[in-house]
């Protein structure tokens, strides 16, 4: 008896082993991938797993008309693929056609999402966002482990969370971060406010260390190692590029001034020059709270998926598989990048980070 033809849709699934085994947040990645596999098991597909090394986010991925790709921690042009990454809040993941943060479709084409955001009920959004914010405060949660949250001795300051120099999302900055820090301190001083700066917990940059050592001698500046939750709580303004701490500050109802592209830029006062940064610190003009509540609720409940919500993950995959593609036909006809190419990008980026960080 002849074999029946295989009518299942092929899907290439990148498996990020380094993230799955990470002692810090591997549990949420394992739960998300369990959700992905459960969702795919309910669909008429066959899975082609590809092991993904850390540092290969820049490697080009291309789906074909016949092969959908579920990629992890990657960015690039829109095509027949879905790019996944952990979001700023534990257990929430983004699934975007172009990538994450400044690379995402939400960052590059925010107008495509405005109608959906506008439809969100403000009262329900506020209740949801306030609940998330309360959970973060109560449990002292952030992307990285934090010291115990203790109320700050002062309030009404400007809080500046720094980022890693070699982070891929640094490509989205419009202003040099250290120049922005200096101008922020100057602008805060001119308005009678103190500035508190926190170094990224993984930062090992001698340049950043020297800058912070110098600034620590300024009476208008504090270099802090406190929990970001307590630092956000005492601030009246948070300033930064596209750090996830800015998203946490939005959840806590703080005004945010940002000088980089991001997938939450719609809820901040974005500036592209030092002069505009100084003006924004003196008189921040972010979107009103009603808009921010709608955006934040939509972002977490519709744009993101929770790691254990199999039904939502399945709906997201199905929507991506059937959506009109923005890329041209020439792009769609290319094959998925080979495993060797992924490792080439991984090794190259690791060497670059060691040399320049």
Tens-of-pLDDT digits for all 357 residues of the chain? Answer: 555 555 678 889 999 988 999 998 999 999 999 999 999 999 988 998 988 887 776 777 766 666 788 999 998 876 778 999 999 999 999 999 999 999 999 999 999 999 999 999 999 999 999 999 999 999 999 999 999 988 888 999 999 999 999 899 999 999 999 999 999 999 999 999 999 999 999 999 999 999 999 999 999 999 999 999 999 999 999 999 999 999 999 999 999 999 999 999 999 999 999 999 999 999 999 999 999 999 999 999 999 999 999 999 999 999 988 776 554 434 433 445 555 555 444 544 554 455 445
Decide: residue 263, CB within 10 A, 0-12 exposed, 13-18 middle, 19+ buried: buried
Decide: residue 334, CB within 10 A, 0-12 exposed, 13-18 middle, 19+ buried: middle
Model-level pTM? Answer: 0.90
CB 270 within 8 A of CB 252: no
Residue 207's pLDDT is 95
Residue 245's pLDDT is 98
Other Cβ atoms within 10 Å of 10 Cβ, number: 14
CB 58 within 8 A of CB 349: yes
Cα–Cα distance, 184 to 299 (Å, whole number): 28
Task: Name the β-bridge partners of 64.
Answer: 67
CA-to-CA dists, residue 99 to 24, 217, 239, angstroms: 23, 40, 24
CB 161 within 8 A of CB 246: yes
Dihedral angle of Cα 287, 289, 290, 296, to the nearest 10 degrees: 80
CA-to-CA dists, residue 7 to 113, 216, 315, angstroms: 34, 65, 21
Residue 336's pLDDT is 54
- Pairing label, strands 195-198, 221-224: parallel
Main-chain dihedrals φ then ψ at residue 292, nearest 5 degrees = -65, -40
DSSP assignment letter at 301: I
Q: In what order do the strands lie in the sheet with 235-240?
A: 221-224, 195-198, 157-161, 235-240, 256-258, 269-270
CA-to-CA dists, residue 346 to 50, 53, 61, 151, 253, angstroms: 14, 6, 14, 41, 38
Residue 153's pLDDT is 87
Residue 347's pLDDT is 47
């Amino acid at each position: 008896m002849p074999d029946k033809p295989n009518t299942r849709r092929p899907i290439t699934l990148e498996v990020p082993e380094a993230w799955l085994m990470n002692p810090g947040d591997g549990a949420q990645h394992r739960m998300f991938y369990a959700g992905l596999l459960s969702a795919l098991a309910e669909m008429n597909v066959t899975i082609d797993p590809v092991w993904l090394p850390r540092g290969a986010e820049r490697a080009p991925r291309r789906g074909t008309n016949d092969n959908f790709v579920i990629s992890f921690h990657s960015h690039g042009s829109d095509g027949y693929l879905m790019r996944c990454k952990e979001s700023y809040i534990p257990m929430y993941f983004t699934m975007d056609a172009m990538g994450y943060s400044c690379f995402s479709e939400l960052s590059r084409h925010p107008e495509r999402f405005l109608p959906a955001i506008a439809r969100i009920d403000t009262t329900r959004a506020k209740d949801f966002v306030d609940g998330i914010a309360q959970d973060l405060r109560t449990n002292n949660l952030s992307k990285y482990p934090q010291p115990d949250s203790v109320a700050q001795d002062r309030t009404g300051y400007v809080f500046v969370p720094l980022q890693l120099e070699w982070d891929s999302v640094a490509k989205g900055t419009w202003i040099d971060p250290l120049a922005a820090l200096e101008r922020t301190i100057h602008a805060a001083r001119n308005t009678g406010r103190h500035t508190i700066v926190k170094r990224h917990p993984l930062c090992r940059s001698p340049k950043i260390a020297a800058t912070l050592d110098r600034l620590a001698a300024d009476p208008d500046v504090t270099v802090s190692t406190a929990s970001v939750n307590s630092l956000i709580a005492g601030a009246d303004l948070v300033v930064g590029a596209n750090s996830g701490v800015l998203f946490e500050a939005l959840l806590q109802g703080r005004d945010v001034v940002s000088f980089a592209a991001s997938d939450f830029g719609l809820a901040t006062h974005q500036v592209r020059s030092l002069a505009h940064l100084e003006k924004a610190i003196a008189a921040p003009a972010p979107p009103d709270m009603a808009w921010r509540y709608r955006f934040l609720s939509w972002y977490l409940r519709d744009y993101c998926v929770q790691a254990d919500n199999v039904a939502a993950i399945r709906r997201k995959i199905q929507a991506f598989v059937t959506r009109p593609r923005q890329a041209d036909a020439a792009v769609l006809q290319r094959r998925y990048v080979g495993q060797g190419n992924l490792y080439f990008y991984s090794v190259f980026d690791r060497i670059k980070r060691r040399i320049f960080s």
